[in-house]
């Protein structure tokens, strides 16, 4: 996902100094989240109609929203009568959604942490299984737009990019300390940046003179190294790659996918929204393998049962947004939704 001038979220955090970190990052007093923002002002959920249709939420259902964000998808489930547990690694998102969804009372609860740790959720530990699990990957518009979080190459802020305190490193750690070869690798791999070597070389030369401190230090260095062509900012892919490395996004997704069958009830639905080709490829391969009943290879006398067969694909192909949705919400442009259902396979 890229920072594409997605409309500025308004609210209390924006009033802070652009270079000051949010409450959980610094010793300063925590930000007051008592003033709630309307869903769309924080983050406009993608695929609202499709998520409602494929999750088919209803009373007596327990749904885990693994990426609570502004709570837009959770609200859809709650309005349909479901009980929802919202998971996020960002305390700001959790505080915001808790205040906004308070009218749903005890039907809504939250858990702070990485969705790669879903099996550790108290409800799951106590033997409960979910009727549905949603993961809407990446960062929220709110995180992207908040200068103090350091995700945006358009706004001056600290080079942070952590989604929450559990993220293992900051963007500054990567650009100021990582070996050049590792920077090249993430720019190629996560950013699909063809000028990765030139950018990494410029980063290493710059930091030898003066360490990077702010988002604009890095954005300007990249612009100087590769110039500006077209409408897309030259730092777009580098920022995306660094964000994915800071938050270990692909590693978290791989762990969460592997854990999903243990979190769902038989018949439970898994909905995953991706914005990046590597993420979508990972989800597609996972679901294809887990929904294949028999495996076959040229050297085998006959197909063999797949020991990992666990899911039924509800939609064979990825669902993509309608033209109407992308015109209302440009962030949805690169979104893909994949949906599957856990099979009831009695031993
Ligand atoms: C795209 S937003 C979700 C928006 C949400 N569906 C809504 O309707 O507002 C992604 C959210 O998931 C969180 N997130 C991303 N990766 C995560 C992970 N591995 N574990 C927990 N939360 C994660 C981010 O902090 C962010 O708040």
91 CB within 6 A, ligand 1: no
How far apart CA 3 and CA 240 sit, in angstroms, is 8
Which one of 50, 67, 111 would you pick to mutate in the ligand 1 pocket, going by the greatest count of ligand atoms within 8 A of its CB? 67
How far apart CA 213 and CA 156 sit, in angstroms, is 10
Give the model's pLDDT for residue 1. 36
If pLDDT is split at 50, 70 and 90, which confidence band does 22 have? low
- At residue 182, the 3 state secondary structure works out as helix
159 CB within 6 A, ligand 1: no
- At residue 195, the 3 state secondary structure works out as coil
Q: 203: closest CA among 189, 194, 157, 187?
A: 187
Mean pLDDT of the chain: 90
146 CB within 6 A, ligand 1: no
If pLDDT is split at 50, 70 and 90, which confidence band does 117 have? very high
Residue 116, token pair as written in the block: 């790669």
The ligand 1 atom nearest the CA atom of 142: 27
The ligand 1 atom nearest the CA atom of 134: 6
86 CB within 6 A, ligand 1: no
Q: Examine the pLDDT at 138 and tell me if it is beyond 60.
A: yes
Domains of the chain in sequence order: 24-141+249-342 (3.40.50.150), 168-246 (1.10.150.170)
Q: Examine the pLDDT at 14 and tell me if it is beyond 80.
A: no
> Hunting for tokens 């923002």 — which residue is that?
37
36 CB within 6 A, ligand 1: no
Give the model's pLDDT for residue 10. 27
- CA dihedral of 313, 260, 42, 150, whole degrees rounded to 10: -120
Give the model's pLDDT for residue 224. 96
> Hunting for tokens 């590597």 — which residue is that?
278
The pTM (predicted TM-score) of the whole model is 0.90
Q: Examine the pLDDT at 18 and tell me if it is beyond 50.
A: no
If pLDDT is split at 50, 70 and 90, which confidence band does 347 have? low
């Amino acid at each position: 996902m890229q920072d594409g001038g997605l409309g500025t979220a308004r609210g209390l955090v924006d009033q802070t100094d652009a270079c000051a970190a949010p409450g959980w990052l610094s010793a300063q007093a925590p930000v007051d989240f008592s003033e709630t923002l309307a869903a769309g002002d924080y983050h406009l959920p993608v695929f609202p109609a499709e998520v409602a249709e494929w999750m088919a939420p209803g009373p007596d259902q327990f749904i885990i929203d693994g990426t609570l964000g502004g709570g837009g998808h959770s609200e859809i489930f709650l309005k349909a009568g479901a009980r929802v547990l919202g998971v996020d690694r960002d305390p700001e998102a959790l505080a915001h959604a808790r205040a906004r969804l308070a009218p749903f009372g005890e039907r809504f609860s939250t858990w702070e942490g990485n969705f790669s740790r879903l099996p550790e959720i108290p409800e799951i530990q106590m033997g409960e299984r979910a009727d549905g699990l949603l993961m809407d990957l990446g960062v929220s518009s709110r995180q992207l737009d908040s200068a103090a979080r350091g995700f945006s190459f358009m706004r001056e802020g600290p080079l942070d990019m952590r989604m929450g305190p559990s993220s293992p490193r900051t963007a500054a750690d990567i650009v100021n300390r990582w070996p050049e070869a590792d920077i090249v690798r993430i720019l190629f791999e996560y950013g699909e940046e063809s000028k990765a070597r030139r950018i990494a070389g410029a980063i290493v030369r710059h930091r030898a003179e003066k360490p990077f401190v702010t988002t604009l230090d890095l954005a300007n260095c990249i612009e100087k190294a590769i110039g500006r062509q077209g409408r897309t900012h030259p730092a777009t892919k580098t920022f995306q790659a660094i964000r994915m490395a800071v938050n270990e996004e692909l590693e978290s997704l791989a762990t969460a996918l592997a854990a999903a069958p243990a979190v769902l009830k038989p018949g439970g639905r898994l909905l995953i929204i991706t914005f990046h080709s590597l993420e979508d490829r990972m989800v597609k391969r996972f679901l294809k393998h887990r929904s294949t009943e028999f495996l076959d290879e040229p050297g085998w006398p006959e197909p063999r049962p797949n020991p990992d067969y666990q899911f039924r694909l509800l939609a064979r192909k990825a669902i993509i947004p309608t033209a109407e949705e992308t015109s209302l919400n440009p962030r949805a442009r690169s979104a893909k939704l994949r949906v599957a259902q856990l099979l009831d396979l009695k031993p």
